[in-house]
Amino acid sequence: MVSIPDKDKELLEAEIKKILTRHQTWVKENYKKTNIWEVLKESTRVYDRILNLALPVFGIGLSEQICLVGLGSYGREEICPHSDMDLLVLYQGLGERRIEEFSGRLLGLLWDLKIKVSHSLRTVEECLETGGKDNSVLSSLIDARAVAGNVELFNKLQAGLEKLINLQGREFFKAKLEELNARRRRFGEVIWRLERNLMEGAGGLRDWHLTRWLSMVGFGVKDGEGLARLGLLNKSELIVLKDVIGRLFRLRVALHLLSEEKNDYLRLDLQEALAKELEIEGKSYSEKLDALYFWAFKGSELVVEVLERVITDLKMRYEGRRYEPIPNYSFLAKSEEGIEIIYPWFQNVIVQGKDKGFELFRCQAEAGLNLSPVARAILAKNFSQLKTGLRKGLIELFKLSNKPSVVIKELKRIGELNWVFPELESTFYIGQRDGYHFYTVGFHSIRCLERIEAFEKEPEFGDDPEIDWRILKLAGLIHDLGKAKAEEHTKAGVEIVARVSARLGLSPIETGLLKFLVREHLLLNHYAQKRDFYEPKAVKFLVKKIKDASRLKLLYLLTVADIQAVSDKSWTSWKADLLHRLYHFLLAYLVEKESLSLQMRRRLKELKKRLKKAGLKEERFKELSKLPARYLLGSEPELIVEQMEMIEKKAPGALLIKFKILEKPRLEITIIYEDYPGLFSELSGVFSALNYNILSAEINTINRTALDIFVVEDLVAERSE
């Protein structure tokens, strides 16, 4: 290879630095107001210009044997400030040493300029061979775009690629579905995450890329206009789709600039700065960050919907489709995608009246199935003829064994939730930025409803006549909707109950019960985790507040569902045990009329027998009987006997410690030692020094011996999760 004068390389590098500096300044000044597609293309053109300047310098005499090809986001002309340059060096008639010398010099320049590059060196034949074996390579080749050098080489690649696509269609489709499922498992199937991944998350840019790849392989089209021509999009949806993809890219550009690195996560610590940077002002939302969610999330359901339509169409082509009839619903059938609508018969049903059309929603709630993409499109088209009947019969969907959550989610997806539940619709864009909640209020409410639906199958509760499942399910859906107001959310929630109850035609008794559940949905969790609920004043307060066993059961199930709906990790055995103890303690009080003193007498009688059987001294029981109800009723009898044995066997001055592993990163630590003033403070200091957060502490003294039980959380392990 011809040597390159140092002066030429220096001049080239200096020129490229000027280009990059000017462009970076231009992006920062213009990305908020300029058409985002022009911003992305301009960033792509800068990379193009760099390569076109570099090729003549580093590839002297090689221009006919090399074509520099953009892949990935570079090929799609979607370059953001810190996007990688995904580069294919396509070549012919060059030995391995010469092509590696060229690529080494070119890549060295790009790396010196702080441009992140992923690259490959291949001939046309190698590209096609690798693409035939690796579907991720085939995806990148679909996005390929010639940048510099011999375009004929690229055209040869494109011709071979077209033939390969025709051969690989079915296998490519299958592989991409597997990739989609893996991505959903990793990044979630839900749009409404507070820290959403703009690229890989549901409704994000990767979903749109997958739609394009599948459309190219399956239909020979690679944009929204092509999908519209195929009937997979209508004109209004095409406008919405372009808008939401554009907003996602504008947000991605802002994230890159604020993070000063490639970053696709809408991180909580960046959201305030993002809202300020993008000058987002909420007309309908009091908080700027909620306005940011609205701006970032609105329309993302359509990205998922279009992908599902394409997948459904291709499944029909490659695999066919089998239908199963649904008993009692002649105009409906069931397929792998969900409930299908037999359109001519459905039209006849609509003609028969609004109440008859309601059968679609009744069937969906009974079966607990989503509509297929085709059926969803039919529903959206005909919803105006069904909406009055739906509002009239909505409460019926909440009865025992029904799953109203699937209907609610369907209405959200077709943009009609506002018609039946306007209070819920707005909360899909309300955040709960407390470091605890994982989803927006609206989706948290849906998850809570889904958890309650699952409780119906549990033997302890499913057939209990004291549980009003309609009211409980409504409470799950409504309990947090007051967070859309600036005032205290339980108070605002009670006001929402009044409106919803009137709309659904609930009786005064049902309305009162629903108000109680919404107003007090934090009560049991508060007492379980932060109060000594065995303390007589606490018992008296809770019994007076809850009144009867039926209300207790409803409140307990709502509390459990609410905690479980926060995230996949929010429900722990420690929380479950605390709530379970409180629930059964109060249930015994309300049902069996077992007062605290009566339960204490029964427990002490049982413990006396167990201690005697274990061979412990009589004085040990006398000491034990002086301990508080929190310990005696809150601990299992077997554990109490074990701890008494430890105390009796302990040598003077000995320190006994027992560890019980709860869910990672939590531990229960029992410490037995001679008691003295300040012992608890010292132990707390030790836990703090070891980066343990104390979740609960139980302090008891038996004949000058401390029996302290701590539940702690390893903060280092928690952060590393």
Q: What is the mean pLDDT of residues 454-482?
A: 93
> In this model, does residue 109 exceed pLDDT 70?
yes
Q: What region does 697 belong to: left with phi over 0, alpha with psi -120 to 50, or beta?
A: beta
DSSP letters, 68-132, are: EEE-HHHHTT---TT--EEEEEEESS--HHHHHHHHHHHHHHHHHTT--EEEEEE-HHHHHHHHH
Distance (Å, rounded) from C-alpha 221 to C-alpha 600? 75
Domain range spanning residue 151?
6-168
Which residues on adjacent β-strands are paired with residue 70?
87, 145
In this structure, the answer to whether residues 122 and 87 fall within a common structural domain is: yes
The side-by-side arrangement of strands in the sheet containing 692-702 is: 656-661, 666-674, 705-714, 692-702
CB 565 within 8 A of CB 448: yes
In this structure, the answer to whether residues 196 and 299 fall within a common structural domain is: yes
Q: 587-619, pLDDT tens digit by residue?
A: 988 987 878 888 888 889 999 999 889 888 888
Q: Which pLDDT score is estimated for 284?
A: 61
Asked whether residue 114 is domain-assigned, the answer is: yes
Distance (Å, rounded) from C-alpha 329 to C-alpha 635? 53
Residue 77: half-sphere exposure toward Cβ, Cα within 13 Å: 11
Q: 45-59, pLDDT tens digit by residue?
A: 999 999 999 999 998
Q: Which pLDDT score is estimated for 1?
A: 46
Average pLDDT, the chain: 91
Asked whether residue 88 is domain-assigned, the answer is: yes
Cis peptide before 404 (omega within 30 of 0): no
Q: 177-214, pLDDT tens digit by residue?
A: 999 999 999 999 999 999 999 999 999 999 999 999 99
Domain termination site, one of 275, 307, 339? 307
CB 12 within 8 A of CB 54: yes
Domain termination site, one of 307, 339, 371? 307
In this structure, the answer to whether residues 144 and 240 fall within a common structural domain is: no
651: DSSP letter: P
> In this model, does residue 718 exceed pLDDT 60?
no
| Structure tokens given for 43 | 């960033």
Distance (Å, rounded) from C-alpha 385 to C-alpha 573? 48
> In this model, does residue 3 exceed pLDDT 70?
no
Phi then psi for 267, rounded to 5 degrees? -70, 145
Distance (Å, rounded) from C-alpha 20 to C-alpha 616? 82
Residues with Cβ within 8 Å of residue 618, at least 6 apart in sequence? none
The SS3 assignment for 314 reads helix
In this structure, the answer to whether residues 291 and 227 fall within a common structural domain is: yes
Distance (Å, rounded) from C-alpha 570 to C-alpha 447? 13
Asked whether residue 240 is domain-assigned, the answer is: yes
In this structure, the answer to whether residues 149 and 193 fall within a common structural domain is: no
The SS3 assignment for 701 reads strand
In this structure, the answer to whether residues 56 and 151 fall within a common structural domain is: yes
Confidence class of residue 126 from pLDDT cuts 50, 70 and 90? Answer: very high
In this structure, the answer to whether residues 18 and 132 fall within a common structural domain is: yes
> Which CATH number characterizes residue 82's domain?
3.30.460.10
3-state helix, strand, coil in the chain (%, to 5): 65, 10, 25
The SS3 assignment for 459 reads coil
CA-nearest of 173, 202, 175, 174 to 187 is 202
> In this model, does residue 476 exceed pLDDT 80?
yes
Q: 396-413, pLDDT tens digit by residue?
A: 999 989 999 999 999 999
Q: Which pLDDT score is estimated for 432?
A: 83
Q: 630-666, pLDDT tens digit by residue?
A: 888 888 899 999 999 888 888 988 999 999 888 777 8
User: What pTM does this model have?
Assistant: 0.86
> Which CATH number characterizes residue 719's domain?
3.30.70.260
In this structure, the answer to whether residues 163 and 17 fall within a common structural domain is: yes
The SS3 assignment for 334 reads strand
In this structure, the answer to whether residues 155 and 197 fall within a common structural domain is: no
Q: Which pLDDT score is estimated for 719?
A: 47
> Which CATH number characterizes residue 287's domain?
1.20.120.330
CB 41 within 8 A of CB 10: no
Distance of CA 656 to the CA centre of its chain: 43
Query: For the chain, what percent of residues have pLDDT higher than 90?
Result: 65
Q: What would the 3-class secondary structure string for 163-230 be?
A: HHHHHHHHHHHHHHHHHHHHHHHHHCCCCCECCCECCCCCCCHHHHHHHHHHHHHHHCCCCHHHHHHC
Asked whether residue 220 is domain-assigned, the answer is: yes
Q: How many domains does the chain have?
A: 3
| Structure tokens given for 628 | 């508080």
In this structure, the answer to whether residues 21 and 123 fall within a common structural domain is: yes
Which residues on adjacent β-strands are paired with residue 324?
334
Q: What is the mean pLDDT of residues 543-569?
A: 95
Asked whether residue 44 is domain-assigned, the answer is: yes
Q: Which pLDDT score is estimated for 281?
A: 77
Domain termination site, one of 307, 337, 356? 307
Asked whether residue 66 is domain-assigned, the answer is: yes
Asked whether residue 131 is domain-assigned, the answer is: yes
Q: How many CB atoms lie within 10 A of CB 35?
A: 11
CB 529 within 8 A of CB 696: yes
In this structure, the answer to whether residues 303 and 198 fall within a common structural domain is: yes
CA-nearest of 631, 627, 540 to 586 is 540
Residues with Cβ within 8 Å of residue 663, at least 6 apart in sequence? 572, 573, 574
225-239 burial: b if 16+ Cβ within 10 Å, else e: ebbbebebbeeebbe
Q: Which pLDDT score is estimated for 714?
A: 84
> In this model, does residue 253 exceed pLDDT 80?
yes
> In this model, does residue 345 exceed pLDDT 80?
no
Asked whether residue 233 is domain-assigned, the answer is: yes
| Structure tokens given for 581 | 């103890």
Given CA atoms 407, 413, 414, 415 in this order, what sign does their dihedral have? positive
Q: Which pLDDT score is estimated for 199?
A: 97
Q: 506-553, pLDDT tens digit by residue?
A: 999 999 999 999 999 999 999 998 888 888 899 899 999 999 999 999
Q: 347-380, pLDDT tens digit by residue?
A: 776 666 656 778 899 999 999 999 999 999 989 9
Q: Which pLDDT score is estimated for 355?
A: 65
The SS3 assignment for 413 reads helix
Q: Which pLDDT score is estimated for 588?
A: 87
Q: Which pLDDT score is estimated for 387?
A: 86
User: Where is average pLDDT lowest: 62-76, 210-224, 686-700?
Assistant: 686-700
> In this model, does residue 684 exceed pLDDT 80?
yes
Report how far apart, in Å, the C-alpha atoms of 438 and of each of 196, 259, 435, 452, 590 are: 10, 22, 8, 19, 35
In this structure, the answer to whether residues 219 and 163 fall within a common structural domain is: no
Q: Which pLDDT score is estimated for 2?
A: 45
> In this model, does residue 721 exceed pLDDT 50?
no
